[in-house]
Structure 1
Amino acid sequence: MSKSFLAATALALRDDGLLDLHAPATDYVPELVAARFDGSPVALTLDDLLSNRGGLSEDNPWGDAHLGVSRAHMAAVVAAGLTLASSPGTEYQYSNLGISLIGRAIESVTGRPVEDVVRERMLDPLNLRHTRPSADLYGEGADLAAGFRTFDDGSTFAAEPFVGSGALACIGSLFSTVHDVARWAHFLGSAFDDPSTDNAATDGATADGAVLSAASRRELQTARTLIPIGSKPPGRELDGIGYGYGLVVEHDRRFGRIVQHAGGLPGFSSHMRWQTATGIGVIVYGNSDAFGAGAVAADVLADVLTRVDAPAFVVRPWPETVAAARRIDELIAEGRPLSDAAGLLTDNVLRDVPVDVRERRLAAALAEVGAVRADAVPFTERIVAAPDRSALRWVVPCVRGTLVCDVHLVGLHEPLVQEFAIRVADAGGRKPRDESARVTDHHLVALD
């Protein structure tokens, strides 16, 4: 899980103008000039490497064994020429070596060991005083968990020595505690508290913003490289998964964005994951690589989020979105023609579905569900969902059923409705009939 600390440090240096993630990686790691794909030179960037799409093949077993090798040795390995498994920028391959080269780039622009830069940029300002890159930095007698391996399904365990801290240490050698990593997860996850109020002036004035801006922390937690889902985790449905910068980003169909990363070395297993909508997270450590911290953490987080009925996302609609929806709601309640909303609509709306067609469809829906109830609760209490700021869904109670209404605006200087629909609700009264479950069903709509 050290990669997120490395990635955050790289973005802090980027923000200070010391690193360009989209410049040729050879500007910072000249040895990469010898890298080849199908025998031809390649153009790699730090962005490619940090988001695991640099074309280097998956290397977990090899990487674990080389965490402690010297920088001179690894520089020679890279200078000899790396053979890429895919063209850079095209597909996901989890490469410890590739991300470790971010550490070499940091050293090239700072002239200092990357571990020192991570400590000064991240660990010290956030008071993560129990997080250190090497066992010998804790002092004699420190209570460090020992690692163990089993080759007989847990009947016996053999002690496993620490792998050491060397050229690849920046991607996996940090020691830490549950408390420190929970603080780290909060630091990252809090960037999503309310992005609408984030700006350089106010964010830079906060302690967390001074370490790394909320915008840059969100960059870390935004998927950049598609990861094939493969077999679905038991009991969970993922709409997508990708690699950000040093972090994995899941799009869970019930809980929205889940950010996570595993840690695994011979003798150890760890996992951190949090939901950005609520900041609720789970940290799991195990001192055996047979422990499976990831599965435990995923189950625990899903259970906690279910128990508190966590929203998948908090949406704050534009005032224009709410105003347009309210106007259409009034027209339906008053039995007035939908064309009376023409001033709120883009030119395409009444061409895409002409007024007479819309009126016939609404009349057919009302024939099925009955007249609009006069005793309906206020409009704002009938809002049920919002995919994003530009869209809103609300319900209209009728005598024998419910109508579900949707508007979607286009973000012009003065936003206008580009689509709207009125449909009969299913038995649950919150979704149109035959509409599949969506993560937006669990968005919390906040009206400021």
Structure 2
Amino acid sequence: MTAFTGAAERSLEAAFEAHDLGLAPAAVAAVFDRDGVVAWKAAGAPSGPASTADRGTVFRVASMSTSFLAAAALSLRDEGLLDFDAPLDACVPGVRLLLDGEERRVTIRQLLTNCSGLPEDNAWGDRRLGDSRQAIAGLGRAGLRLTAEPGETYQYSNLGMSFVGRAVEAVTGETVEAVVAERLLRPLGLDRTRYVAQEYGAGSALALGYRTFDDGRSFQEEPYVGHGALACIGGLFSTVDDIATWAAFLASGFSAEPLRPEVLAAATRREMQRIHTPFGIGEARPHRDLEAIGYGVGLTVEHDRRFGRVVQHSGSLPGFCSHMRWHRASGIGAVVFANSEGLGAESLAARVLSEVLAGHEASPPLETVWPETAAAAERVDAALRAGLPVERIADVLAENVLQDEPAAVRRRRLGEALERTGPVRVEQAPLSGRAVSSADPAELRWAVECERGRLVCDVRLIGLHEPLVQQLAVAVEDPRG
């Protein structure tokens, strides 16, 4: 067992102990990295008293399915088969989208990034997965009302995503489920991920869905919601291993050696994992400290003050909840399934991942930043460790750095910080092991160990032909890291 595996197992154990697992008959969680699941934990009976949950139990993953739909649509876009910026009716004629009684032009891109103007429809959509394509087409012909101008604001629309499925079918001549299987599931070996429960065959370890109306004191079985026009946005069943493989594939788009580039271009995977439509953070989100959040393409993107970018998506249907999330810089992630929507899979997964990252000190690989960024950080780090004044590294600083905060002021503030942390320790891990986060190639945050605490250092470079440091900050680490 590696140190990381042991830490992941301890984090899972602690998270299961702290979470109210009584809100679902069964739950499974796993921690994964680029190579797949490194630790997992399961609890409960997924399909009756005689059953036992384990890592192979199949759960319905609900809206996590949209990431597969989005990736399939993007692959068609990359091949020139699907125009994201053409109006929807260019390939799905007959859908009337109305604002104040007037028709509006809505694109595939706006549908996939949830800014089409169609209102949020989770409560309605959760029960309509089995509606026929003809029935949903009829709703489109009758006219669907928008609540905002297309492109203006975030609203999660299952109905809108389903029209992306119709566009995929229009340009391929196949069902969207067949396209997802052909382009993604089979090439990536996700053979335990399917749209229809009956495809698993007799004896398969499928979790049944349940609902509780008395906080887990009793449960009633919830039949699987049907498979129809909206299945492409919420119909998939899967296992923690398959979802870990899928997430690792997406996350590797940011690595120097992305996995399976022939399946989906690394640049396209990165496109999925950046904010396209921002929305409010809203109420406090447990186990994270966010400075921004928004929707990418089939995925939600968080900017965490401590850990940097985290990519995630939840799923919820009557009888099930699910959540997957991963740290962009390291590729470390967590996935949680439960067979009752009240368990709170997102909160449990966020707890697991934040504890794993805090314990692992998950560092952004220095190859993700400019060489000049890494070199400047090394110079700043060496000067701090040697007690040298900032003027001694002026050759890597833009002129504004010592104008915005004079050298004498920087010396005073650093002295005040060191009074709190104690002297810088002589022995330090390499900078690559102390890196904390990097939002983009021009910036880096890292830690410096001191006798009674840590300093957090930040550099941000300006993108000249020969980049220079335009911002330099050194502060005492707070409880959030």
Shorter-chain TM-score bucket reads: 0.7 to 0.9
Change (3 A) 1:260 1:394: closer
Q: Is residue 80 of structure 1 aligned with residue 145 of structure 2?
A: no
Deviations 1:290-343 (A, max 9, x none): 33222222222222223x3333633445444455567789999898994x9776
Q: Which residue number corresponds to residue 88 of structure 2? A: 25
Q: Is residue 156 of structure 1 aligned with residue 156 of structure 2?
A: no
Q: Is residue 313 of structure 1 aligned with residue 364 of structure 2?
A: yes
Q: 1:228-307 alignment to 2 at 5 Å?
A: 228-306=280-358
Q: Which residue number corresponds to residue 53 of structure 1? A: 115
CA distance in 2, matches of 1:47, 1:143: 37
CA distance in 1, matches of 2:411, 2:234: 64
Change (3 A) 1:178 1:56: same
Change (3 A) 1:213 1:381: closer
Change (3 A) 1:101 1:312: farther
Residue identity (%): 51
Q: Which is greater in Rg? A: 1
3-state SS in 2 of match to 1:210: coil
Asked if 2 retains the 8 angstrom alpha-carbon contact of 1:315 and 1:386, the reply is no
TM (norm. structure 1) is 0.78
CA distance in 1, matches of 2:178, 2:344: 31
Q: Which residue number corresponds to residue 7 of structure 2? A: none
1:123 to 185, 191, 194: 185
TM (norm. structure 2) is 0.73
1:12 to 52, 75, 99: 75
Change (3 A) 1:152 1:120: same
Change (3 A) 1:348 1:14: same
CA distance in 2, matches of 1:363, 1:60: 55
Q: Which moved further from structure 2: 1-10 or 312-321?
A: 312-321
CA distance in 2, matches of 1:313, 1:86: 38
Change (3 A) 1:43 1:385: same
Instruction: Kindly state the Cα deviation for residue 113 of structure 1 after the two structures are TM-superposed.
Output: 0.6
CA distance in 2, matches of 1:337, 1:178: 49
Instruction: Kindly state the Cα deviation for residue 365 of structure 1 after the two structures are TM-superposed.
Output: 6.8
Output the amino acid matched with 1:256: G
Q: Which residue number corresponds to residue 188 of structure 1? A: 250
Q: 1:18-417 alignment to 2 at 5 Å?
A: 18-32=81-95, 34-192=96-254, 194=255, 197=256, 208-306=260-358, 308-311=359-362, 313-316=364-367, 317-321=369-373, 338=391, 352=403, 358=406, 361=409, 387=438, 388-391=440-443, 408-417=460-469
Change (3 A) 1:310 1:100: farther
Change (3 A) 1:432 1:159: closer
Change (3 A) 1:253 1:393: closer
1:3 to 53, 66, 71: 66
CA distance in 1, matches of 2:208, 2:101: 44
Instruction: Kindly state the Cα deviation for residue 61 of structure 1 after the two structures are TM-superposed.
Output: 1.6
Instruction: Kindly state the Cα deviation for residue 182 of structure 1 after the two structures are TM-superposed.
Output: 1.6
3-state SS in 1 of match to 2:110: helix
Asked if 2 retains the 8 angstrom alpha-carbon contact of 1:149 and 1:158, the reply is yes
Q: Which residue number corresponds to residue 15 of structure 2? A: none
Output the amino acid matched with 1:38: D
Q: What's the C-alpha RMSD, in Å, of the aligned pairs? A: 3.7
Give the number of the structure with larger relative contact order, counting CA–CA contacts within 8 Å between residues 6 or more apart.
2
Q: Which residue number corresponds to residue 38 of structure 2? A: none
Count of aligned residue pairs for this structure pair: 409
CA distance in 2, matches of 1:175, 1:367: 57
Asked if 1 retains the 8 angstrom alpha-carbon contact of 2:320 and 2:341, the reply is yes
